[in-house]
């Protein structure tokens, strides 16, 4: 893989101090900008997506909780459904080299194809800077950012803290609920939940 | 052969068949789960004690009822004979594990859970108990584990059991069980970014608190990544439990496990107390 140039742009003198989710992340407050490369080496900056809703999904394909959502097709379905509605979906992997979930570009491409994953981009954060900055604790851990660049949802993907694929059908999906609400011009009714999953392998 | 003897033989045969059908233990590569009835017979109206023992390979862990920032609590789903009622569950005190700003509450090495089931006043000759377990075992990677275990009890049977082994098991379990009622805690009040729990003065006449920790049951209220601190005053000692910034609400009840390292006359001991008390806002 190309050497990954990671630049984190600190708008965030504004945002110093700890919060519920990590350094600088608070519901209703600006999301920290960042720049991360995808598997082809292309840099993606959060601010490039200003004016659109952005979903950040922390991912580790070997985590059983992530597998639950990919084996069931749930995550891919959400990615496809919302990117078709002009939502930007960024899957971010913060696993450090040598740790679970840190893959070569070839492996990421292979697995993404196998899963028919459909995010806008799969970004590599192998130094964990963006993950720690956002306070990403688990895989999956989900964040939604509005067109003005504010965090409008942080937390779990749904309310069933299990690894059972069957639970996907009977769970309340918080990300889908929040996106449906904002795309219909409404406020997000549940904007902060407890994420669940494997710890991010920083 | 008398009728009574035939009946006993029949029951014994059924018992052996059921034993063969049910498994007491299950093993994944890193965790062994075992179901051990501590009572070897079912007596109408009496309590049946059952242990569930997890043995983890070195470095591996499972999770407490509140797993913390990541992980998954171990779940127990019982299938009990008709009329039997699950009365209580005791879980050992967890350990705090912090890696890269991610704090989890875990069980290492051995975790013994104790359950109590109340038998009804009328019970059949043979009672079969089933338990479905789901857990997450983690080290540098996480793997889901599950097991379906069971056992049978015969009414009024007299069965030999290895008493020394059971006594040792109960002794090991009791070491890590919290006290259900605590006389340690005084009042609990919200003070800006923390909850202040005062400690009863009577306790402090005989002991000194060296360290304190708190494991909350409720999620998204307490900041488990900041340390619990001691505040020592002339009149009172308090424990400061950090609250989560951005929490949606303040706690109305302080519920969790309070761990205190105490010293008394050159002896140091650790106490585990379950706290469940109203919070004054």
The answer to whether B72 contacts A162, with C-beta atoms less than 8 Å apart, is: yes
Angle at A171 between CA A165 and CA A176, to 5 degrees: 105
Pair of tokens at residue B202: 């009577």
The answer to whether B70 contacts A198, with C-beta atoms less than 8 Å apart, is: yes
Burial of B223 (0-12, 13-18, 19+ CB in 10 A): buried
What pLDDT shows up at residue B4? 65
ipTM score over 0.95, yes or no: no
Among A139, A21, A133, residue whose Cα is nearest residue A75? A139
How far does B41 lie from chain A, in Å, by closest CA? 35
Structural domains in chain A, CATH included, are: 12-199 (3.40.30.10)
How far does B223 lie from chain A, in Å, by closest CA? 8
Contact status of A137 with chain B (Cβ, < 8 Å): yes
Chain A CB contacts of B219 below 8 Å: 194
Instruction: Give yes or no for residue A18 having a pLDDT over 60.
Output: no
What pLDDT shows up at residue B184? 67
The answer to whether A196 contacts B70, with C-beta atoms less than 8 Å apart, is: yes
Higher-pLDDT residue of B248, A72: A72
Contact status of A21 with chain B (Cβ, < 8 Å): yes
Structural domains in chain B, CATH included, are: 3-176 (2.60.40.1250), 185-278 (no CATH)
Which residues neighbour A181 within 8 Å (Cβ) at sequence distance 6 or greater? A187, A188, A189
Chain A CB contacts of B99 below 8 Å: 199, 202
Over range A132-146, report the average pLDDT: 97
Instruction: Indicate the pTM of the whole model.
Output: 0.88
Contact status of A198 with chain B (Cβ, < 8 Å): yes
What pLDDT shows up at residue A4? 46
Which residues neighbour B256 within 8 Å (Cβ) at sequence distance 6 or greater? B66, B214, B215, B216, B217, B218, B222, B274, B275
Chain A residue at shortest CA distance from B244: A20
Chain B CB contacts of A26 below 8 Å: 246
Confidence of residue A74 (pLDDT cuts 50, 70, 90): very high
Over range A137-155, report the average pLDDT: 97
The answer to whether A199 contacts B134, with C-beta atoms less than 8 Å apart, is: no
What's the rounded Cα separation, in Å, for the pair A93 and A112? 13
> What ranges make up the beta strands (E) of chain B?
25-27, 31-37, 47-56, 61-68, 75-79, 85-90, 95-99, 102-108, 110-118, 126-138, 142-154, 185-191, 194-199, 208-216, 229-232, 237-242, 253-264, 267-278
pLDDT in tens, chain B (281 residues): 566 666 656 655 555 444 444 558 888 889 999 999 998 888 999 999 999 999 999 999 999 999 999 999 999 999 999 999 999 999 999 999 999 889 999 999 999 999 999 999 999 999 999 999 999 999 999 999 999 999 999 887 766 667 888 889 999 999 999 986 556 668 899 998 999 999 877 777 788 889 999 999 999 999 999 999 999 887 778 999 999 988 888 999 999 999 999 898 889 989 899 999 899 87
Helix (H, G, I), strand (E, B) or coil at A107: helix
**Residue numbers of A between 68 and 127 with CB closer than 8 Å to B:** 99-100
Helix (H, G, I), strand (E, B) or coil at B212: strand
Question: For strand A43-45 and strand B75-79, is the pairing parallel, antiparallel, or unpaired?
Answer: unpaired
The answer to whether A18 contacts B138, with C-beta atoms less than 8 Å apart, is: no
Contact status of A180 with chain B (Cβ, < 8 Å): no
The answer to whether B101 contacts A62, with C-beta atoms less than 8 Å apart, is: no
């Amino acid at each position: 893989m190309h050497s990954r140039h990671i630049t984190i742009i600190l708008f965030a003198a504004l945002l110093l101090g700890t919060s519920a989710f990590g350094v600088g992340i608070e519901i209703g407050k600006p999301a920290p900008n960042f720049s991360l490369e995808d598997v082809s080496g292309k840099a993606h900056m959060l601010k490039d997506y200003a004016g659109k809703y952005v979903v950040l999904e922390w991912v580790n394909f070997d985590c059983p909780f992530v597998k639950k959502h990919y084996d069931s097709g749930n995550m891919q379905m959400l990615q496809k459904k919302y990117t078709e509605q002009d939502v930007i979906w960024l899957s971010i992997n913060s696993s450090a080299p040598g740790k679970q979930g840190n893959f070569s570009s070839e492996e990421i491409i292979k697995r993404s194809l196998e899963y028919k994953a459909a995010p806008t981009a799969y970004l590599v954060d192998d130094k964990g800077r963006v993950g720690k900055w956002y306070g990403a604790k688990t895989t999956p851990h989900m964040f939604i950012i509005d067109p003005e660049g504010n965090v409008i949802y942080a937390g779990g993907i749904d309310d069933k803290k299990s690894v059972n694929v069957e639970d996907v059908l009977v769970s309340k999906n918080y990300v889908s609920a929040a996106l449906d609400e904002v795309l219909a011009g409404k406020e997000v009714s549940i904007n902060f939940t407890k994420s669940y999953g494997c710890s991010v392998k920083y | 052969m008398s009728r009574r003897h035939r009946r006993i033989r029949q029951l014994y045969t059924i018992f052996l068949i059921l034993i063969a059908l049910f498994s007491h233990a299950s093993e994944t590569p890193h965790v062994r789960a075992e179901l051990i009835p501590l009572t070897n017979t079912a007596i109408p109206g009496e309590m049946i004690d059952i242990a569930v023992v997890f043995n983890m390979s070195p470095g591996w862990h499972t999770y407490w009822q509140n797993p913390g920032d990541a992980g998954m609590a171990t779940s127990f789903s019982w299938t009990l004979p008709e009329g039997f009622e699950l009365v209580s569950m005791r879980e050992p005190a967890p350990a705090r594990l912090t890696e890269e700003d991610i704090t989890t509450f875990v069980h290492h090495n051995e975790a013994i859970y104790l359950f109590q089931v109340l038998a009804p006043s009328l019970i059949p000759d043979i009672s079969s108990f089933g338990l479905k377990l789901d857990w997450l075992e983690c080290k540098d990677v996480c793997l889901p584990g599950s097991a379906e275990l069971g056992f049978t009890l015969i009414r009024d049977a007299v069965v030999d059991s290895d008493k020394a082994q059971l006594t040792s098991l109960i002794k090991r379990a009791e070491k890590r069980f919290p006290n259900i009622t605590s006389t340690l805690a005084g009042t609990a009040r919200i003070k800006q970014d923390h909850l202040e729990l005062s400690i009863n003065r009577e306790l402090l006449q005989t002991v000194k608190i060296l360290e304190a920790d708190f494991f909350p049951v409720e999620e998204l209220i307490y900041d488990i990544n900041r340390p619990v601190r001691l505040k020592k005053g002339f009149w009172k000692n308090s424990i400061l439990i950090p609250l989560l910034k951005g929490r949606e609400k303040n706690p109305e009840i302080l519920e969790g496990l309070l761990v205190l390292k105490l010293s008394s006359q050159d002896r140091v001991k650790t106490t585990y107390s379950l706290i469940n008390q109203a919070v004054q806002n």
